[in-house]
Structure 1
Amino acid sequence: MDSHTSPPLPPPGPSDGGNNTIRAAIMAVVVAVFAGYLMLWVMMPTNVYRQIWLPELRAQTASTYFGTTQGATYLVFTLPVLFIAALGCVTINGRHGLDMWKRPVIIKGLGIVSRIELAFFLMFIALLVWNFGTYLHISFAKITPKSAAKSGEKVWEARLDTAALRLGLVGNIALSFLFFPVTRGSSVLPLFGLTSEASVKYHIWLGHIVMTLFTAHGIAYIIFWAATHQLSEMVKWEKTGVSNVAGELSLIAGLVLWATTFPRIRRKMFELFFYTHHLYILFVFFFVLHVGISYTCIMLPGFFLFMIDRYLRFLQSRRAVRLTSARVLPCQTLELNFSKAKGEGTWSKKLYQLLASPVSLIVLRHDLLVMVSGGSGVTPFISIIRELIHATTTLKHKTPQILLISSFKNSTDLTMLDLILPISGAPSESANLGLQIEAYVTREKQPTTQESKTIRTVWFKPNPSDAPLTPILGPNSWLWLCAIISSSFIIYLIFIGILTRYYIYPIDHNTNKIYSSSSRAVLHILFICIGIVVTATIGFLWNKNSNAREVNQIQNMEGATPVGSPNSWYYNADRELESLPQQAFSQTVNVHYGERPDLKRFLFERKESSVGVLVCGPKKLRHEVAKICSSGLAANLHFESISFSW
């Protein structure tokens, strides 16, 4: 579980308008920088960029600290993205006027996508086609029978050589965006109204595009070398320039990783998929050695932010988390409850508990929430409803009405609904929420006659060595993340600048030697890792010490034996208790046997101005709800899908 994903929000008041103005100004800067960044990708294959812009940039940024080419790459491709990431740490994105564009569309091969997602996907494909087509148009114009003959090649061979190179260049565009969607603690995704959970599909799409282009790049070169009797090129590792062996090793690692990502293998052999996915380390490492560090800096920002996030999650995973209790349901479902750091004192800290989840930002904007689930798909809705119960009872926060439509195969699965009430909560808490549950048992015509089973709760003894869940970078996690992103990159630039100026530069210019491109790349990777490890570790240890007092307070509070119901008993110093009576809660539940819900009726009859429709469950169910919401027959329906698998 990642706890460094959202900062506390300020309380509403007179300064709220000023905060909105600041956010709007920051977003304007972000949009301007991002637009310029995208324009560079559009211009990159043109003669204007390659013959006019790039030489001028390199002339203005050449130095003995970063060489003649790398400074320009830092300036136009690396720094803009890191600047956006840093700005993203100090602002929170609000609602966009894009609801019409967020209506779902079902595309074969892509699944359920919104109109804006489809638009961006088509624009991205257009960018790739534009780059590849422009590269080929300009390059092929220079290939003539005379020019090909000078190289001892036929025209088609020269064109194949050029096409193979251009496939690799276009593949690097997709690679540059590949790691953004899987950066869980991203400060970039929230700027565009995205969450890491919902962005996994972008990573999948980009991954397939990357591997398709790089595989075509490799195969095209093998065909070219075979046709021109240069297969010996496959075993060359040049001291400067492109290393063919490193590229082949990178491609092999990528192909093994890619083979296990297809749904049939991923779902049936998930551990194989999980462990082979770590081959991305070898894939990226040999990619850097293949193309050199200067060209790598084009795709570096996304991977740099991913490495920071991955190392922070590594530090977080070293903690032993305190498990306080477990609830065992008759339907063989288990709920685990972990101790969490308390946020007391200010209104903003309490509001943080409500708004920490990106899902909450989505649900609070509607008048009514219709949650449609199938089987275990009800579990994320249980978490959302419990957050809203907390907001209603503790924070006195106005929340939308809720209609939960759940389908189960058997009546024993109905006990999953009892998890809506937390262990310490009273059944009457749901009354103030405006919650109505329509539960459908599809495989049974009537209630079973066997004796009803209750939920069993097991309390665990506190372990002094275990700590409650706390944000890894403390309550000001975004500001710490901004500091880590900025300082780690600055440390990298300082170290590599000094090394280049006083070690690599003298070798390249004062002797007959040329410093190895691979060695240079390895040193850059090393200093990038040093910068990340040093700054992230400092941030982690600083906040760990700051949280020590709070953790001790929580441990003292949890040291006492929890108060149980009259049904509780003890054995071996552990305690079990049966679930609290659910009479009041059961009044909000209508159970239907032997039928399925009429989703069109439930959705189309709602007259509220804004109805959020959330669905989680089997693919068929998600597609059915998406079709209803995208039909255009009800303009007040706003669709969101939650999926456990991709």
Structure 2
Amino acid sequence: MAVAAWWVMVASGGRGGRGGDGSSGDDGTNGAIGGEMTMMIKGIAVLVFIGYLFLWVITPTYVYKQKWLVKIRAHTTSTYFGPQGTTMLLYTFPVLFIAVVGCVYLHFKKKANQNRDEGEKGATNENLSMWRRPMIIKGLGIVSKIELAFFFMFIALLVWSFVTYLHVGFAKITPQSAAKKGEQVWQSKLDSAALRLGLVGNLCLAFLFFPVARGSSILSLFGLTSEASVKYHIWLGHIVMTLFSAHGFCYILYWIVTNQTSEMLKWAKTDISNVAGELSLVAGLILWATTFPKIRRKMFEVFFYTHHLYILFVVFFVFHVGISYASIMLPGFYLFLIDRFLRFLQSKGNIRLISTRVLPCETLELNFSKSQVLNYTPTSIMFINVPSISKAQWHPFTISSSSNLEPGSLSVMIKGEGSWSKKLYQMLSSPNPVDRLDVCIEGPYGPVSTNFLRHDMLVMVSGGSGITPFISIFRELVYTTETLKRKAPKILLISAFKDSTDLTMLELLLPASGVPIELSKLDVQIEAYVTREKQPMTTEKNTVSSIWLKPNPSDAPITPILGQNGWLWLGAIISCSFVLFLLSMGLLTQFYIYPIDKNTNKVFPLGSRAVLNMLLMCASIMLTCCIGFWWNKKKNAMDSKQIQNMEGATPISSPNSAFYNADRELESVPQQSLHLSTNVHFGERPDLKRMLFEQKESSVGVLVCGPKKMRHEVANICSSGLASNLHFESISFSW
């Protein structure tokens, strides 16, 4: 408990402001300490992670099962936890330790302000860039060689585990042992193979929930983001359900050929529960059926609601195998539960929506008020819910603003492409638009740091609303040149639009908040392509208007969910909740479960033990999350009082599009500079191969966001090896 108290004390203190140069407000000591400690802390976490992976490698072996595990249990099994304690020590504790250490690492990294490191250039980075080159694999999409290597290593681990399990299991099957069970040898081997398929499936299940914990310290520790890691969740999900389906099918076949179909209705109190396993599998199959692209894209709500069957899937899985064995897959789900409950707490309040810019191409830019202590990186995302449209639907949108250039506001761009976004556009663009809107959010989520400054040039290729992440990058580079007085990479923005009205999206490159900026120091060139029109279409309807809303006084600005020292608070929640769970479960086992097992002839039912574990686990997580959230909510409320009420402010509007109507008088020097740097091409598509190969700078970062065909084309060009200076920067927004 002393450790927990230290966590809370550290997390609640040290509220230093950010200086004008984007650095910490401390005197430099923290930066020095952070710079020295980050690598050491990360090294510790990596070593523990390697040990955790090695544990999975040796788990199927005979030596581990019959010798090492027996010795470990002899020294760790107690009346407080029994065999469950050994499983949690080996499989749960290392991952939670990595998560907590990762929180400390990310805290020091944030204090050291390493997000503006330009990166090292040289042979090492050149060699690493070869491994980062994109590859297009059917069924996997765009992946780097590093991702592909780890994917094949994981498949190799699955094959190794299955083969080793079979080798150990089949060695025990003889004609004599099969005869004792009244079976043939092949039937006993089918039973053994079915069991091993489930064991290998459990390995995948142990990693399944890591990629979907949006605020995970483990993902950030290894430089991953939740939106980019969703594909790993998809891969693992397909593998998990394939293995579990084979596991269930083989057992059903085994029961049929051995005349044991009654086993399908067995719910043993002290052994494996077959009924619970079947219910878990059915929930998983229904969930799995709706995840395939054709169903997910055409019937998103069906996919969204059926995906909540993961709750039944996990609960019945625990009933099926028992809580002791389920502790093997516990850490990933445990971290997911913490993240999910924190998101639930954050989503309960209404956010102050200041204004919106309405574009003629059925596009909105929503501008929210935010606390100045909330910092996020370019390409971050945020989930938005509008209860008046749907209380259940949450949609992810890329943030288009820069937390450095616009410290008091946060913006997202929403293109009216689905029923939800079209309803929102109609509400705000009608002749009598609403004067306020209840909005709930989750996030923002994004990379801990970006390394765009390490390139000499950035080529950003977008299609339609895919320009959104590049707006945030553009505004961040404006801040780099105007405020930090640092040299930014040259920018080439290649944007393809269907109609000329979509050109108004380019106006969002400049913020609506009236931030005094100049573009004279930024070397930018914009090549805009309108593919469906041969010439510009002039009409009075192509105007951009700004609407200022009247939020309620109770609406709050967007604040960091766990305060400025959020990573330390997250580490405190993880460690304190797990300690609280261990204490409560240990005491319950010692003084309630163990006396029943010891003093009676009955064994305490595994199902009841599982229920108690799940209830205490959820209670521990909810209690610690609520304490951390409400503590920081009070501090956030104090900060919110300092944010000026922007009601009644005069918007900086652009009644006509500077990019659509080139003959109109431009409103400002930045708009004029941006307009002069823009070339509009009608009736053609960009020749991406030629345009990329024309760039002769020594290091060219290439980013793409848009339709699948465009992403694959750019990835193919960068991976061709014909231009060694092209470095594909992977970003993902395919939820």
Q: With structure 1 as the length reference, what TM-score do the two structures score?
A: 0.92
Q: Residues 161-192 of structure 1: CA distance to partner in whole angstroms, max 9, x if unpaired?
A: 00000000000000000011111001001221
Matches within 5 A, 1:613-624: 613-624=702-713
Once structures 1 and 2 are overlaid, which stretch shifts more, 235-244 or 632-641? 632-641
Question: 3-state SS of the aligned residue for 2:603?
Answer: coil
After superposition, the Cα gap between the structure-2 partners of 1:36 and 1:351, relative to the gap in structure 1 and judged at 3 Å, is farther
Q: Residues 372-404 of structure 1: CA distance to partner in whole angstroms, max 9, x if unpaired?
A: 011111112112222332343344454322211
**Is 1:562 matched up with 2:677?**
no
Q: How far 1:53 sits from its partner (Å)?
A: 0.9
% same residue: 66
Q: How far 1:445 sits from its partner (Å)?
A: 1.8
What letter is aligned with 1:517? L
Q: How far 1:643 sits from its partner (Å)?
A: 4.0
After superposition, the Cα gap between the structure-2 partners of 1:238 and 1:384, relative to the gap in structure 1 and judged at 3 Å, is same
Q: Residues 184-226 of structure 1: CA distance to partner in whole angstroms, max 9, x if unpaired?
A: 0010012212111110000000000000000110011000001
User: What is the rounded CA distance, in whole Å, between the counterparts of 2:523 and 2:105 in structure 1?
Assistant: 33
**Is 1:114 matched up with 2:158?**
no
Contact 2:544 2:654 in 1 (8 A): no
After superposition, the Cα gap between the structure-2 partners of 1:645 and 1:565, relative to the gap in structure 1 and judged at 3 Å, is closer
User: What is the rounded CA distance, in whole Å, between the counterparts of 1:10 and 1:86 in structure 2?
Assistant: 23
After superposition, the Cα gap between the structure-2 partners of 1:567 and 1:91, relative to the gap in structure 1 and judged at 3 Å, is closer
**Is 1:197 matched up with 2:284?**
no
After superposition, the Cα gap between the structure-2 partners of 1:614 and 1:593, relative to the gap in structure 1 and judged at 3 Å, is same
Matches within 5 A, 1:244-283: 244-283=274-313
Contact 1:455 1:579 in 2 (8 A): no
Contact 1:183 1:305 in 2 (8 A): yes
Once structures 1 and 2 are overlaid, which stretch shifts more, 363-372 or 617-626? 363-372
Matches within 5 A, 1:279-318: 279-318=309-348
Q: How far 1:473 sits from its partner (Å)?
A: 0.3
Q: How far 1:369 sits from its partner (Å)?
A: 1.3
Contact 1:292 1:518 in 2 (8 A): yes
Aligned partner of 2:98 in structure 1 is 84
Task: Find the partner of 1:504 among 593, 596, 605.
Answer: 593
User: What is the rounded CA distance, in whole Å, between the counterparts of 1:621 and 1:508 in structure 2?
Assistant: 64
Once structures 1 and 2 are overlaid, which stretch shifts more, 13-22 or 442-451? 13-22
Task: Find the partner of 1:184 among 214, 218, 222.
Answer: 214
Q: Residues 563-620 of structure 1: CA distance to partner in whole angstroms, max 9, x if unpaired?
A: 345989xxxxxxxxx9956433211211111221121222222232322111011111
Aligned partner of 2:88 in structure 1 is 74
What letter is aligned with 1:223? L
User: What is the rounded CA distance, in whole Å, between the counterparts of 1:567 and 1:273 in structure 2?
Assistant: 40
User: What is the rounded CA distance, in whole Å, between the counterparts of 2:520 and 2:242 in structure 1?
Assistant: 54
Aligned partner of 1:27 in structure 2 is 42
User: What is the rounded CA distance, in whole Å, between the counterparts of 1:352 and 1:87 in structure 2?
Assistant: 32
Q: How far 1:558 sits from its partner (Å)?
A: 1.5
Once structures 1 and 2 are overlaid, which stretch shifts more, 468-477 or 87-96? 87-96
Task: Find the partner of 2:260 among 227, 230, 247.
Answer: 230
Contact 2:209 2:336 in 1 (8 A): yes
What letter is aligned with 1:413? D
**Is 1:36 matched up with 2:62?**
no
**Is 1:210 matched up with 2:299?**
no
Aligned partner of 1:572 in structure 2 is none
Question: 3-state SS of the aligned residue for 2:689?
Answer: helix
What letter is aligned with 1:107? I
Aligned partner of 1:47 in structure 2 is 62
Q: Residues 241-293 of structure 1: CA distance to partner in whole angstroms, max 9, x if unpaired?
A: 21111111111111111010000000001011011111101100110111011
After superposition, the Cα gap between the structure-2 partners of 1:115 and 1:565, relative to the gap in structure 1 and judged at 3 Å, is closer
Task: Find the partner of 2:573 among 484, 498, 504.
Answer: 484
Question: 3-state SS of the aligned residue for 1:188?
Answer: helix
**Is 1:458 matched up with 2:473?**
no
* Residues paired across the two proteins, number: 626
After superposition, the Cα gap between the structure-2 partners of 1:471 and 1:393, relative to the gap in structure 1 and judged at 3 Å, is same
What letter is aligned with 1:238? A
Contact 2:457 2:701 in 1 (8 A): yes
Matches within 5 A, 1:623-634: 623-634=712-723
Once structures 1 and 2 are overlaid, which stretch shifts more, 364-373 or 474-483? 364-373
Question: 3-state SS of the aligned residue for 2:641?
Answer: helix
User: What is the rounded CA distance, in whole Å, between the counterparts of 2:502 and 2:653 in structure 1?
Assistant: 26
Contact 1:247 1:286 in 2 (8 A): yes
User: What is the rounded CA distance, in whole Å, between the counterparts of 1:477 and 1:465 in structure 2?
Assistant: 24
Q: Residues 322-350 of structure 1: CA distance to partner in whole angstroms, max 9, x if unpaired?
A: 111111111111111111112399xxx96
User: What is the rounded CA distance, in whole Å, between the counterparts of 1:378 and 1:285 in structure 2?
Assistant: 42
After superposition, the Cα gap between the structure-2 partners of 1:427 and 1:558, relative to the gap in structure 1 and judged at 3 Å, is closer
Aligned partner of 2:638 in structure 1 is 549
Once structures 1 and 2 are overlaid, which stretch shifts more, 394-403 or 168-177? 394-403
Q: How far 1:24 sits from its partner (Å)?
A: 1.5
After superposition, the Cα gap between the structure-2 partners of 1:263 and 1:427, relative to the gap in structure 1 and judged at 3 Å, is farther
Task: Find the partner of 2:191 among 142, 145, 161.
Answer: 161
Instruction: Structure 1: give runs of 5+ residues left out of the alignment.
Output: 569-577
Question: 3-state SS of the aligned residue for 1:122?
Answer: helix
Q: Residues 546-567 of structure 1: CA distance to partner in whole angstroms, max 9, x if unpaired?
A: 111221222xx12552134598
User: What is the rounded CA distance, in whole Å, between the counterparts of 2:95 and 2:629 in structure 1?
Assistant: 24
User: What is the rounded CA distance, in whole Å, between the counterparts of 1:472 and 1:501 in structure 2?
Assistant: 37
Once structures 1 and 2 are overlaid, which stretch shifts more, 578-587 or 400-409? 578-587
After superposition, the Cα gap between the structure-2 partners of 1:497 and 1:528, relative to the gap in structure 1 and judged at 3 Å, is same
Q: Residues 395-429 of structure 1: CA distance to partner in whole angstroms, max 9, x if unpaired?
A: 44543222110001111110011111111236953
Question: 3-state SS of the aligned residue for 1:407?
Answer: strand
Contact 1:427 1:584 in 2 (8 A): no
Once structures 1 and 2 are overlaid, which stretch shifts more, 376-385 or 271-280? 376-385
**Is 1:517 matched up with 2:606?**
yes
User: What is the rounded CA distance, in whole Å, between the counterparts of 2:315 and 2:29 in structure 1?
Assistant: 51
Aligned partner of 1:645 in structure 2 is 734
User: What is the rounded CA distance, in whole Å, between the counterparts of 1:160 and 1:564 in structure 2?
Assistant: 72
After superposition, the Cα gap between the structure-2 partners of 1:636 and 1:250, relative to the gap in structure 1 and judged at 3 Å, is same
What letter is aligned with 1:225? W
Q: How far 1:42 sits from its partner (Å)?
A: 0.5
What letter is aligned with 2:50? A
Aligned partner of 1:611 in structure 2 is 700
Once structures 1 and 2 are overlaid, which stretch shifts more, 377-386 or 44-53? 377-386
Contact 2:223 2:447 in 1 (8 A): no
Aligned partner of 2:624 in structure 1 is 535
Aligned partner of 1:574 in structure 2 is none
User: What is the rounded CA distance, in whole Å, between the counterparts of 1:566 and 1:304 in structure 2?
Assistant: 48
Aligned partner of 2:380 in structure 1 is none
User: What is the rounded CA distance, in whole Å, between the counterparts of 1:334 and 1:158 in structure 2?
Assistant: 63
What letter is aligned with 2:639? E
What letter is aligned with 1:44? T
After superposition, the Cα gap between the structure-2 partners of 1:475 and 1:531, relative to the gap in structure 1 and judged at 3 Å, is same
Q: How far 1:14 sits from its partner (Å)?
A: 7.2
Aligned partner of 1:59 in structure 2 is 74
Question: 3-state SS of the aligned residue for 2:150?
Answer: helix
Aligned partner of 1:101 in structure 2 is 131
Contact 1:161 1:224 in 2 (8 A): yes
User: What is the rounded CA distance, in whole Å, between the counterparts of 2:29 and 2:490 in structure 1?
Assistant: 29
Question: 3-state SS of the aligned residue for 2:520?
Answer: helix
Aligned-residue RMSD, C-alpha: 2.5
Once structures 1 and 2 are overlaid, which stretch shifts more, 350-359 or 582-591? 350-359
Task: Find the partner of 1:132 among 162, 180, 187.
Answer: 162
Q: With structure 2 as the length reference, what TM-score do the two structures score?
A: 0.81
User: What is the rounded CA distance, in whole Å, between the counterparts of 1:161 and 1:313 in structure 2?
Assistant: 43
User: What is the rounded CA distance, in whole Å, between the counterparts of 2:617 and 2:132 in structure 1?
Assistant: 38
